[in-house]
Chain A
Amino acid sequence: MHSTPARLRLILAMLASLAVAACSGGFGGASPSAESSTAPIASEGASAAPSPSEAAEPVSLVYLVDDAEATILRAEAYIEAYTTLHPNVTIELETRPGGTEGDNIVKTRLATGDMADVFYYNSGSLLQALNPAETLVDLAAEPFVGNFVEAYLSSVSQGDAVFGVPSETAMGGGILYNKKIYADLGLDVPTTWAEFAANNEAIKAAGIAPIAATFGDTWTSQLFVLADFYNVQASVPDFAEQYTANEAHYTDTPAAMAGFSYLQEAFEKDWWQEDFGADKFEDGQELLATGEVAHYPMLTFALSSIEANFPDEVQDLGFFAQPGEDAAKNGATIWMPAATYIPKTSSNIDEAKKFLAFIASVEGTEAATSGVAPAGPYMIKGASLPEDALPAVKDIQAYIDANASGPALEFLSPVKGPSLEQITVAVGSGLYSAEEGARLYDEDVAKQAKQLGLPGW
């Protein structure tokens, strides 16, 4: 058995790809399905040269999105509106799981060159982990980038390159509250943590659980820490840069530590509802809508599913920014919209760009609104909220109009520790103190920063 070096290399390469595939199968479960393998082959010939008679030529694209109901409805609305304008184009929708499982599917498909023609994925820190400069098409020269609201650009950029177009609304992260309970008990919207604490005690005295915690879905536990970022930045304006450069941390920045302290306080003062450890996201929505709890720390995208299940009660829900130390500096933390990207391996980059141009237009936002009620403002210049937008969504718009809003930390820094949700559950369940939680999170952040290869770590 003599194998030439070339053959050996080939075998090694095959084995390496086998190992990668084995990993993805492990986390994925529902990884690249039969659908996806048929798709790229079906598309039309040369991608680079746009032919003059393109309008007549049939073109097909595959659009990969996560499997959240709202995402699918919105993507279908984009596709329907776009293909009505361009009858020669067909766009096939493909779905993948969300969360960390979805992250791995996206990374694996990009790494193996098997990505759909266009795909939907988070902006901000998660985008940075996709190695966008190597894997995604740079859109900086495209005219539609000029349509973005200025504040959005950095969430989809790396250096001078721009990679995606906003494909949903921005969301507020803060406290959703039941206005009926507030009216019944004569409470005012709090702007400081002390006022919030007083409200909670009044609500508890009235026999209602003050705050919904849904640790059965661990990601929901992070809001007190993440949504506090506007307040952090108000007191430490350069926290994001220092944190990225390994100069500021949660343990040595009292304003940043506050989010962990709030979780500890809420547990110690018994503000959670009874089944906080087992209840899930859906339970939290129901508890809030039906008035069994008064507050739910959450992102406003939850409103669209609350609206689907509780169309009347959703009108009684409002939103306020997470209260901090200083009423004068209180404001809302905003989550930037996820974006649609084009991988460099796309079979038809030109057509994909046209589709992205549509998504990034005012007509695109109108199409999106026809699919899903907006959960916040669009990041496209000239787009507006419909008259019948939900009251809680108008509450966020009010913060933005009053210039009292700013993006969450994950849109200003590429570093977000992956274990935050377990740590916040532990602090919110009384297993760790706020200090221990912050210390563990700092270690978690360091791991992520090293993985990203950032300078200074």
Chain B
Amino acid sequence: MSSSGAGPGGSAPATQVAARPAILGPQRSRAQVTSSYPHWFYLPAAVVFGVIFVVPTLLAFYFSLTRWTLFTTEFIGIDNFVQFFREPALTMGARNTLVYAAVTSGLKVVIGLGLATLLTSRLRLRNLLRSIIFFPVLVSTVAVGITFAVLMHPSDGMINRSLEVVGIDGPRWLTDPSIALLSVAFVDVWKGVGIALVIFIAGILSIPEDYFDTARLEGGAWVRFRHVIIPLSRNATFTVILLSFISGLRTFDLIWTMTRGGPGFTTDVLASTIYKQYQAGFYGLATAGNVVLFIGVTILIFPLMRFFARHEIEL
């Protein structure tokens, strides 16, 4: 991840930090455990963390206030932020970012939970199916993006060729502005649902067997799903929502390999807008964009995390 984080800079470390406490659970992060090691044991980690994360982040805050050409910097106050918020692609980018994050995390929850329910039941080929669904997670995102861009070509792509056989005139998946973003989101779900599946399977398997026994007495599969699995895998659901929402907010690689933000600016998200500013040589402006993204993600994720932490259930 570190390489993709380096482009749109500060966002990656920020979200990693934000994500960690949620997974560990709030009880542990707040507990005042007496350390069994002397404090200077933390020093190497602190130095690495400081040099690689804290200092560059602070430098980014400084450079976001300058006009930076790589050769020279000129301090210009908050002009970059003013410019960034006037950016024509910004409104579109912010809207797209939210839509994309909401759509992908929603679908991952629904599909992931459904598949997990199916694949924790007594099913032949269960392990094979789990592996097949998990497999796309292991493939490079860039490779997936390029492959799907070819598959989704309006006339030569395999998807529309297949639809043609059954007499359907397939849409222009990536070049029709009204569906291009959803096409990319669909690929994101295809690629990422395996992670959601694994988390849900772990969640379902941690539900004590007694509940299932009761459900079996009370009624059939529906009771089992509606009154046992859904409420008792809530922790897993929260984790999936949080993780996929964060990754949706800072999505970049799929968008870039599939549409480059196009046609026009219709699939631009915040990260691709910032990347294009770097490409254009607006280093200060792009750094300001990263600071905005950093703060924006933090503002969105913290309340979400607190809400989830408060509603976590004990099994």
Binding site for B on A (CB under 8 A): 15-16, 18-20, 22-23, 25-27, 100-101, 103-104, 107-108, 110-111, 129, 131, 134-135, 215, 218, 274-275, 277-278, 418-419, 422-423, 425-426, 429, 431-432, 440, 443, 447-448, 450-451, 453
Contacts of A100 in B (CB 8 A): 279-280
Query: In the complex, what distance in Å separates the CA atom of A27 from the CA atom of B279?
Result: 7
Query: In the complex, what distance in Å separates the CA atom of A107 from the CA atom of B285?
Result: 17
- Which of A104, A129, A422, A443 is most buried by chain B, counting CB atoms within 10 A of its CB? A422
Does B70 make an interface contact (CB < 8 A)?
yes
Does B51 make an interface contact (CB < 8 A)?
yes
Contact with A along B190-230 (1 / 0, CB 8 A): 00000000000000000000000000000000000000000
Interface of A, secondary structure class, is helix
Contacts of B265 in A (CB 8 A): 422, 426
Cβ–Cβ contact B264 & A423, under 8 A: yes
Contacts of A108 in B (CB 8 A): 70
Does B140 make an interface contact (CB < 8 A)?
no
Query: In the complex, what distance in Å separates the CA atom of A46 from the CA atom of B221?
Result: 83
Cβ–Cβ contact A431 & B6, under 8 A: no
Contacts of A26 in B (CB 8 A): 3-4, 6-9, 278
A222 CB to nearest chain B CB (Å): 13
* Complex partner residue of A418 from B69, B280, B283, CB under 8 angstroms: B280
Contacts of A103 in B (CB 8 A): 279, 281
Cβ–Cβ contact B278 & A27, under 8 A: yes
* Complex partner residue of B282 from A107, A274, A426, A451, CB under 8 angstroms: A451
Query: In the complex, what distance in Å separates the CA atom of A274 from the CA atom of B220?
Result: 53
Cβ–Cβ contact A23 & B263, under 8 A: no
Contacts of B72 in A (CB 8 A): 131
* Complex partner residue of B177 from A15, A110, A131, A429, CB under 8 angstroms: A429
Pick the 9 closest A-B CB pairs, nearest first. Answer: A426-B264, A277-B175, A418-B280, A26-B7, A26-B6, A100-B279, A111-B70, A131-B71, A431-B264
Query: In the complex, what distance in Å separates the CA atom of A440 from the CA atom of B83?
Result: 13
> Which chain B residue shows the least CB distance to A274?
B155
Contacts of B279 in A (CB 8 A): 27, 100-101, 103-104, 418
Contacts of A422 in B (CB 8 A): 89, 261-262, 264-265, 276
Cβ–Cβ contact B282 & A215, under 8 A: no
Does B234 make an interface contact (CB < 8 A)?
no
Cβ–Cβ contact B280 & A448, under 8 A: yes
Query: In the complex, what distance in Å separates the CA atom of A107 from the CA atom of B172?
Result: 38
Query: In the complex, what distance in Å separates the CA atom of A91 from the CA atom of B74?
Result: 38
Contacts of A22 in B (CB 8 A): 6, 9, 56
Contacts of A419 in B (CB 8 A): 89, 276, 280
Contacts of B264 in A (CB 8 A): 422-423, 425-426, 429, 431-432
26 contacts between A and B (CB under 8 A): A18-B56, A19-B56, A23-B7, A23-B278, A26-B6, A27-B279, A104-B281, A107-B281, A131-B69, A131-B71, A274-B155, A275-B156, A278-B174, A418-B280, A419-B276, A422-B261, A422-B276, A426-B263, A429-B175, A429-B177, A431-B177, A440-B88, A447-B83, A448-B280, A451-B69, A453-B74
Contacts of A443 in B (CB 8 A): 86, 88
Cβ–Cβ contact A451 & B281, under 8 A: yes
Query: In the complex, what distance in Å separates the CA atom of A97 from the CA atom of B280?
Result: 15
Query: In the complex, what distance in Å separates the CA atom of A330 from the CA atom of B273?
Result: 38
* CB-CB under 8 A for A429 and B88, given A20-B70, A26-B9: no
Contacts of A107 in B (CB 8 A): 69-71, 281
> Which chain B residue shows the least CB distance to A452?
B69
* CB-CB under 8 A for A275 and B155, given A107-B70, A447-B282, A453-B67: yes
Query: In the complex, what distance in Å separates the CA atom of A19 from the CA atom of B264?
Result: 31
Does B289 make an interface contact (CB < 8 A)?
no
- Which of B60, B71, B174 is most buried by chain A, counting CB atoms within 10 A of its CB? B71
- Which of B7, B8, B263, B285 is most buried by chain A, counting CB atoms within 10 A of its CB? B263
Query: In the complex, what distance in Å separates the CA atom of A104 from the CA atom of B6?
Result: 14
Contacts of B260 in A (CB 8 A): 218
Contact with A along B275-295 (1 / 0, CB 8 A): 110111111010000000000
Cβ–Cβ contact A15 & B278, under 8 A: no
Contacts of A111 in B (CB 8 A): 70-71
* CB-CB under 8 A for A215 and B262, given A23-B283, A129-B281: yes
B258 CB to nearest chain A CB (Å): 11
Query: In the complex, what distance in Å separates the CA atom of A100 from the CA atom of B286?
Result: 15
Cβ–Cβ contact B88 & A447, under 8 A: no
A66 CB to nearest chain B CB (Å): 15
- Which of A22, A107, A274 is most buried by chain B, counting CB atoms within 10 A of its CB? A22
Contacts of A18 in B (CB 8 A): 51, 56
> Which chain A residue shows the least CB distance to B282?
A451
Contacts of B56 in A (CB 8 A): 15, 18-19, 22
For residues 233 through 292 of chain B, which have their beta carbon under 8 Å from a beta carbon of chain A?
260-266, 275-276, 278-283, 285
A260 CB to nearest chain B CB (Å): 13
> Which chain A residue shows the least CB distance to B142?
A29
* Complex partner residue of B59 from A16, A25, A432, CB under 8 angstroms: A16
Does B145 make an interface contact (CB < 8 A)?
no
Cβ–Cβ contact B51 & A15, under 8 A: yes
Contact with A along B74-103 (1 / 0, CB 8 A): 100000000100101100000000000000
A448 CB to nearest chain B CB (Å): 7
> Which chain A residue shows the least CB distance to B177?
A431
Query: In the complex, what distance in Å separates the CA atom of A27 from the CA atom of B252?
Result: 13
* Complex partner residue of B276 from A275, A418, A426, CB under 8 angstroms: A418
Query: In the complex, what distance in Å separates the CA atom of A18 from the CA atom of B260?
Result: 28
Query: In the complex, what distance in Å separates the CA atom of A104 from the CA atom of B155?
Result: 35
Cβ–Cβ contact B263 & A15, under 8 A: no
Does B55 make an interface contact (CB < 8 A)?
yes
Cβ–Cβ contact A19 & B154, under 8 A: no
Cβ–Cβ contact A19 & B281, under 8 A: no
> Which chain B residue shows the least CB distance to A437?
B264
Does B130 make an interface contact (CB < 8 A)?
no
* CB-CB under 8 A for A23 and B6, given A275-B153, A429-B264: yes
> Which chain B residue shows the least CB distance to A429?
B263
A422 CB to nearest chain B CB (Å): 6
* Complex partner residue of B172 from A19, A131, A278, A448, CB under 8 angstroms: A278
* CB-CB under 8 A for A278 and B175, given A26-B7, A418-B281, A426-B264: yes
Query: In the complex, what distance in Å separates the CA atom of A274 from the CA atom of B154?
Result: 9
